Amino acid sequence: MAGPVNQQNEQLREAAALVAEAWPTKPAAGIVLGSGLGSLAGEVDAKAEFDLADLPGFPAATALGHRGRLICGTLAGVPVVAFQGRYHLYEGHNAAVAALPALLTAELGAAALIVSNAAGGVHPLFRTGDLMLIDDHINLQFQTPISAEKRSSPSYDSELSQLAAEQARQVGARMHRGVYVAMLGPTYETRSEYRLVRTIGGDAAGMSTVPEVLAARAAGLRVLGFSVITNVGFPDAIDGASGHEVIDVANRASAQLGEIVQGVLRRAFA
Say whether pLDDT at 241 is over 60.
Answer: no
Which three-class secondary structure state does DSSP give residue 240? coil
Say whether pLDDT at 245 is over 70.
Answer: no
User: Checking DSSP bridges between strand 222-232 and strand 112-121, what pairing results, if any?
Assistant: parallel
The model's confidence at residue 1, banded by pLDDT at 50, 70 and 90, is very low
Residue 110 near residue 30, CB atoms below 8 Å:
yes
Say whether pLDDT at 9 is over 50.
Answer: yes
Name residues whose C-beta falls within 8 Å of residue 82's C-beta, 6 or more positions apart in sequence: 30, 31, 33, 40, 41, 44, 70, 71, 72, 75
pLDDT tens per residue across span 165-185:
999 999 999 999 999 999 998
Query: What's the mean per-residue pLDDT of the chain?
Result: 90
Supply the pLDDT for residue 82. 96
* pLDDT greater at residue 134 or residue 241: 134
Helix axes 243-269, 158-171, angle to 10 degrees: 110
Q: Which of 117-121, 123-127, 233-237 has the lowest mean pLDDT?
A: 233-237
Which three-class secondary structure state does DSSP give residue 44? coil
Give the predicted TM-score (pTM) of the model. Answer: 0.92
Mean pLDDT of 20-32: 97
* % residues pLDDT > 90 (the chain): 71
Mean pLDDT of 109-114: 98
Buried b (16+ CB within 10 A) or exposed e, 38-59: bebbebbebebbbebeebebbe
pLDDT tens per residue across span 120-169:
999 999 998 999 999 999 999 999 998 766 767 678 999 999 999 999 99
* Neighbouring C-beta atoms of residue 168, cutoff 10 Å: 23
* Neighbouring C-beta atoms of residue 22, cutoff 10 Å: 11
Mean pLDDT of 183-198: 89
* % residues pLDDT > 70 (the chain): 90
pLDDT tens per residue across span 34-47:
866 777 888 999 99
